[in-house]
Structure 1
Amino acid sequence: MHLSVQKIKVTLGNKDIIREISLESGKGEFIGLIGPNGCGKSTLLRTIYRVIKPNTGAILFDGKDLKDIRLSDSAKKVGVVGQFNHLDFDLTVLELVLMGRSPHKSLLAADTAEDYELALSAIRKVGMENYTDRNFTTLSGGEKQRILLARALAQQPRLLILDEPTNHLDIKYQLQLLSIVKSLGIGVLAALHDLSLAAMYCDKLYVMKDGKIVACGQPNKIITPELIHEVYEIDCAIQKNAATGCLSISYYPACRYA
């Protein structure tokens, strides 16, 4: 699915949070949003998946204005995984993932054989097929986040939106989660904190500061010491692995103590 965000502006509490942002996401692209805390990444994502209504601008899915698409129809196309925040669902893993089928069903409709197969397929994709009968509350943080990803995949989305999904996970689960997402072959728009991970997995990055896009392009081309200093106000050194092309970033905080 092609996503086009055109000069979106969002004002909350008399403050401009998003300032005429535009971005494009093509079919199958993994697009990353990076920038410091408070720059507007989450607000932008929530606007795209319709929690917040923009003041001005337009959001288009495959050329059709989002405001002309019914909520139930957009829910079939867009899956969302947010920051892990200790959600406690008193459900089994399978029951929770089946909730992802809700946009495709009428109110109070029973789960069908197709719903079960799609839910089980999503659970297999995240490597949790041996956990279907486990209670969600008994899982570790990384396991819970993979199940929430499976719930989103059960929707059969054409675009997956991730709002800092690895924020509370150790590096093993960060790599697992992003590797699974990358392997899906669907459009992904993700807000990420870790610049090395963003460079590793994203096809293109949009860099935000103070509610604006200040840079965009391929990670290896736009992640530079100069950009990081401008956006994050810290100094760094960047090395590129000759074999893998991955970036290694060493930071030098500009801290001063009295």
Structure 2
Amino acid sequence: MVNLALKNISVELGRQQVVKDVSLEVKQGNFVGLIGPNGSGKSTLLRTIYRVIKPGSGAILLDGRSLQSFSLTESAKKLGVVGQFNQVNFDFSVFEMVMMGRTPHKGMLEADRQEDYAIALAAIKTVGMESYAHRSFSTLSGGEKQRIILARALAQQPQVLLLDEPTNHLDIKYQLELLAIVKALGIGVLAALHDLSLAAMYCDQLYVLKGGAVMTSGKPRQILTPGLVREVYEIDCDIKENPATGCLAITYYPVCGQV
């Protein structure tokens, strides 16, 4: 089942076309990655899906239905979003932050229900933060905050999770923990990732963007080659399978004269 489909999406910002005729699919249970250099259109494409930006042309389908036909509240029930910057200006508790994810499921001025509390607590448990439920969100480390933002998205009970470079600014331990949690959810995931090793490790399917267009797509083992990395990122590398893990190991070569 295809949860999310983009059909020939183009986006223009400031009279410049930054996303060009992009088509992709996110099937139920699949972890799909968007890779490409800075400025390739990854974040713009995600922002278009979660309706911060309106596409100039093309269609976005959610469960086979045009996304534009959904109200913002309806689409918020189906699409969860985790970004890379999660600073808040108010001193909320962890539990209060996660409860915000229940907002699309409640009517205006409707009180929280026991069901909402149970769903929020379950989301906190899913990300392994149940002992932090009553802590102040502002006191958490960057990795802990990102897991709580993920729990807030999970409290929406989405069918598709959108991740905009969620491991930026996190140390290696939290990068691996966060993506492992997401991988185990069993829902459709579309993630913009800058780390090719992480993309190869966790993604079922990759779409490679450059200059706003899809250069190629496929399974990581099929498309991640030194030639592709050179063409897309303008750097040389060596790619081998790690015999201990079976994962692809990517070694980058420094630019001549810069070491």
TM over 0.5: yes
Q: Identify the residue that residue 248 of structure 2 maps to in structure 1.
A: 247
1:33-67: CA deviation from partner (whole Å, max 9, x where unpaired): 00000100000000011110000000001111111
The answer (yes or no) to whether the contact 1:7–1:57 under 8 Å persists in 2 is yes
1:221-246 CA distances to partner (integer Å, 9 max, x unpaired)? 10000000000000001111235320
Contiguous gaps of at least 5 residues in structure 1 = none
Matches within 5 A, 1:104-253: 104-253=105-254
Q: Deviations over 1:203-258 (max 9, x none)?
A: 0000000000001000011000000000000000111123532011111133546x
Aligned counterpart, 1:103: 104
8 Å CA contact 2:86–2:146 kept in 1: the answer is no
User: What is the match of residue 3 of structure 1?
Assistant: 4
The residue aligned with 1:37 is 38
Question: What per-residue deviation string (whole Å, max 9, x for no partner) do you get for residues 79-123 of structure 1?
Answer: 000003433441110011000000000122111100000000000
| TM-superposition CA deviations, 1:191-213 (whole Å, max 9, x none) | 00110000000000000000000
Q: Secondary structure, in 3 states, of the residue corresponding to 1:133?
A: coil
Cα contact 2:86–2:149 (8 A) shared by 1: no
Paired-residue identity, %: 65
TM-score, structure 1 as length reference: 0.97
**Structure 2 portions without partners, runs of 5+:** none
Task: Verify the 8 A CA contact 1:33 1:189 in the aligned structure 2.
Answer: yes
Alignment-mate amino acid for residue 138 of structure 1: T
The one-letter amino acid paired with 1:50 is R
Task: Give 4+ residue runs of structure 1 displaced > 4 Å after superposition.
Answer: none
Q: How many residues align?
A: 257
Scaled by the length of structure 2, what TM-score is found?
0.97
